Structure formats: C-alpha cells, structure tokens
Copies of this chain bind each other. A is one copy, B any other.
Amino acid sequence: MTEAATDTKQMIMSAARLMVQARGFNGLSFRELAKEVGVKSASIHYHFPTKGDLGAALARRYTEDAVLYFDGLLAVSDDPAAHIRGYTEVFRSALVNNNRMCLCGIMAAEHDDLPVEVRAEVDKFTKVNVKWLVKVLSRQQPAAQAQAQAQAQAQAQAQAIERHALAIFAAVEGAQLVARGRGDIAVFDQTIEAYRTAGLLP
C-alpha cells in the first residue's frame, strides 16, 4: 500500500466521521463525502466497497480511539472523579466541535436501519464504555471489600456496579443529545453537574 493510498483512505475516514457525527449515518452521502475529500465517489467505493463497510470501519476506529483515551485516563490518576471528568470531556468536545455528537450515540438513534455490520460495531462501543466505567466504579468500591463479603453479596454488588455503569453511559449520551438540541454547551455542563450533585457521578 503506497503512502498516497493510505493518505486518501485516512482522509475519507476523517471526513466521514465528522459528517456522520453531524448528520448521522443516513445523512452521509458518498458524493458529498467525495467532494469534501477531493476525489470522486467511485474512489470511496474502491476503499470501502459498500456504505456498510465504511460505517463499520468508522465505528471500529472510533471505539479503538476511545479505548486508548480511556485507558490513558486510568494511567495518569487514581481518582475516580478525575476519571469521570475525563470521560465526560470526550462527549463535551464533540459538542464543542460544531455541535457534533458521539459517533455511536447518533448512530444508536438510527439503530434499526443500520447495516448489520455497522450495528455490531456500535453495540461494541456501548460495551467498552460500560466495561471501562465498571472498572472505574470498582476501584471506588475496592475488590478487597467485595471479597470480604459473602459470595451472594459480592455478586449483587457486581451487578449493581454494572447497572450503575450503564446508567452513567446512558445519562451522558442523553445529556449530549439534549444539549445538542439546545445548541448550548452550557446545558451539557450543567446537566453533568446535576448528575454529580444527585450522586449519579463520582
């Protein structure tokens, strides 16, 4: 693979990601995307045979990037509150970038008419988010404590953490959705703060 080829493919993915984050997967058109990149739409098909291939690649890359960032957060601090601040910042920055949404958040809304290969990648994004949040919440409620409990209690605890993690993910996605409608980043910040005040966020 030559350098130019790689370059075009990366440019396609970058532009496509931004377009999907702004107008959704259905709102992404090969022609518009091609114009943005400066090639012809047939060339997009060369790199991504179908729209589903492109969408799946976008979601996969997006998830990979998120995982890298999230794990980076765990490495630089031991404070769950700091972890969560870093977490919400990802969603915040999408809004700052021209009122865009989380790639997988906006695709979740289109869930039902997404090509199956795209849907699978979007679902994975939810999974890795929950997994990471479980890790954060578990640190807060140390494993040692769970071990000291009876096994039944430990399991109940694990389930509670899992549900708490999913709740945080859902709430943050919702905050982004609503803030975007208002077109006001302050709405996002205030909503996140309200979550914290209520005790949903560490």
Contacts and interface: CB of A to CB of B under 8 A. Distances in A.
Interface of A: 22-24, 26-27, 99, 101, 105-106, 108-113, 122-123, 126, 160, 163-164, 166-167, 169-175, 177-182, 187, 190-191, 193-195, 197-200
A191 B167 contact: yes
Contact of A198 (B101, B113, B164): B164
A106 B108 contact: no
Nearest to A99: B112
Given A108-B178, A167-B198, 18 more contacts: A22-B112, A26-B26, A27-B110, A105-B177, A108-B181, A109-B109, A123-B181, A123-B182, A163-B193, A166-B187, A166-B194, A167-B175, A167-B190, A169-B174, A170-B177, A171-B171, A195-B200, A199-B200
A177 B109 contact: yes
Contact of A195 (B167, B179, B190): B167
Main secondary structure of the interface of A (DSSP, over half): helix
Given A166-B187, A198-B164, A181 B113 contact: no
A22 B112 CA distance: 7
Contacts of A99: 112
Nearest to A164: B194
Contact of A109 (B106, B175, B198): B106
A9 B199 CA distance: 47
B198 A126 contact: no
B169 A178 contact: yes
A19 to B, nearest CB: 11
Contacts of A163: 190-191, 193-194
Nearest to A123: B181
Contact of A173 (B113, B122, B177, B182): B177
A7 to B, nearest CB: 29
Contacts of A182: 123, 126
- Which of A171, A173, A187 has the most chain B CB atoms closer than 10 A to its own CB? A171
